[in-house]
Amino acid sequence: MNRIPLADVVKWLQAAGEPSRLRLLALCTEGALSVSDLAQALRQSEPRVSRHLKILSEGGLIVRMRQGQWVHYRVADQAEAASFVRGLLAQLDRSDPVLLRDRTGARAAAAPRIERAAHGAESRLGRAIAGFITASGLSEPRGAVLVIGVSHPELLECAARASPRCTAVAPSRRAAQAARAFAERRGLSCRILKGAGVELLGDADMVRLGEAFAAVLVDSSAGEEAFARTLQRARGLLAPGGRLCHRRGGGGGRGRACGMSDESCAMNAESGRTPIRVSFEFFPPADEAMGAMLWKSIERLAPLAPRFVSVTYGADGSTRERTHNVVTRIQRETPLTGAPHLTCIGASREEILEIARGYWDEGIRHMVALRGDPPRGEGARRPNPRGFRYASELVAALAGLAPFDISVAAYPEVHPEAGSAAADLENLKRKIDAGATRAITQFFFDTDAFLRFRDALAAAGVHAPIVPGILPITRFPQVLRFAKACGTSIPGRLHERFAGLDDDHETRRMIAASVAIEQVEALRRHGVSEFHFYTLNRAELTYAICHALGLRPHARSASAALQEARA
């Protein structure tokens, strides 16, 4: 019998040692439940339940799992922790009225979502399979292919039809037999092997498979640690230039087909993760010197091929002309996609739409639609009586004017003027419903706040991309002022890390890069692959962060194209 270290036992007892957390732990053994489900079951607020779940997760007793468009919690995979939880819960009386009420409430809360998931599973699975195949490169037959896991036989069929040399590894003898029967019914030519249980690939399997594969597709519902070990072995089977493509989610055939979502597949042969995509924000310069710095920053960051670059719009439209000049120059002289900010405040509907028409006529197709703020020192905003009152109205008007790609703002920690988190979420939903393509968040440093926000949006039926805004900290006092103005919390750890560095520029830059890289990596572990950087017109720190995250200049850089356009 394995003995558990004292420190681990103390940590687990501290995590579980509170009535609500013990009740949550019991519910996490009942099935896949979201924060919303658990909050309804316990009759507590979602923020309170989220805090309890965070403590249980940090204590190693539960894990947070993303499955399709929603997130659920379950008991940890780690053997000692799982054994501890089972032993602890075995001491509870399952007929206790409180626990019975919790279970009944959780089932009732989860039922509508489960019904919706089952209803949409077929179409989601079809789209997911298509995306999986495209991401792995199988749309163009290119050598031997290995499928690890056969939870979704449709994936096996696509791989077998795309490659004349297809091998599949099933997690059990029964799964292998079912896969062989499916292949025979469909007339597929593929080799199907029984793997090493949950991890699918053992050392013996590595030897038995023998060859190097042009593509390895991993489709598994294994726990996090087992899944990571499977990926590590899978990388060793790739041929030079081969692609590793993976999904981790529910298996078990069509009944849980929603375990595969429409999200991008990881397909990096070295890291097994989706390469990140970025966009950058700049502000229009106030003078010639600042203009030179702005264009130097654009030239520096352009080779990273951002999805778009946005240019801000001053309070009350005060930089309208400068914003226009920067965006049109970007459009004219670079291969970048310029995205001007456009705000409601201060102008009439006719004036705003005239600006938008002008942008469209100059070839600009992407807009960032915002409500806007009054100029500093003028107190509460006073909308133009003939203007748009809300950003959702502006979005609807832009969408009706021309097929713009429209980005809007989102607030993971709630807009300072919102009456509540629910009201803020509903406001964002109105903007998406009005025609917005994506939402870019205000900068934040609390990763859990973003993830809770994303989960709440998914639960509310908002499925547009939510792109996290990343602010590299160049000057900490400045960031504190920004944060106070927009309601962003600053964790104590950041105060500690930047303490005493006001006059130490080089150390401050290194700490700032480290903080931003840690934040992006934490978000990537939860499936986020797109990021919007607030550059403050300074390129070096943002470029260094992007480089550390794996972004590299394109073969023919946008910067070179910019220089050619000027010649």
Tell me the sheet residues that pair with 441. Answer: 410
Question: Among 263, 255, 234, which residue's Cα sits nearest to residue 132?
Answer: 263
Q: Is 214 helix (H, G, I), strand (E, B) or coil?
A: strand
Look up 184 and say whether it is catalytic. no
Q: Is 405 helix (H, G, I), strand (E, B) or coil?
A: strand
- Single out the catalytic residue among 281, 393, 413, 530: 281
Cα–Cα distance between 289 and 282 in angstroms, integer? 15
Strand pairing report for 438-443 and 405-410: parallel
Strand pairing report for 277-282 and 530-534: parallel
What one-character-per-residue DSSP string does 495-521 give?
Answer: HHHHTT-TT-HHHHHHHHHHHHHHHHH
Cα–Cα distance between 16 and 243 in angstroms, integer? 42
Q: What share of the chain is helix, strand, coil (3-state, %, to 5)?
A: 50, 15, 35
What one-character-per-residue DSSP string does 27-39 give?
Answer: HHTTS-B-HHHHH
Amino acid letter, 213: F
What one-character-per-residue DSSP string does 535-560 give?
Answer: -TT-HHHHHHHHHHTT----SS-HHH
Sequence length of the chain is 567
CB-based burial of residue 382 (10 Å sphere; 0-12 exposed, 13-18 middle, 19+ buried)? exposed
| Residue 341 vs residues 352, 472, 556: alpha-carbon distances, Å | 11, 21, 29
List CB contacts of 371: < 8 A, sequence separation 6 or more: 343, 344, 345, 390, 391, 394
> Residue holding tokens 């007892």?
13
Catalytic residues: 281
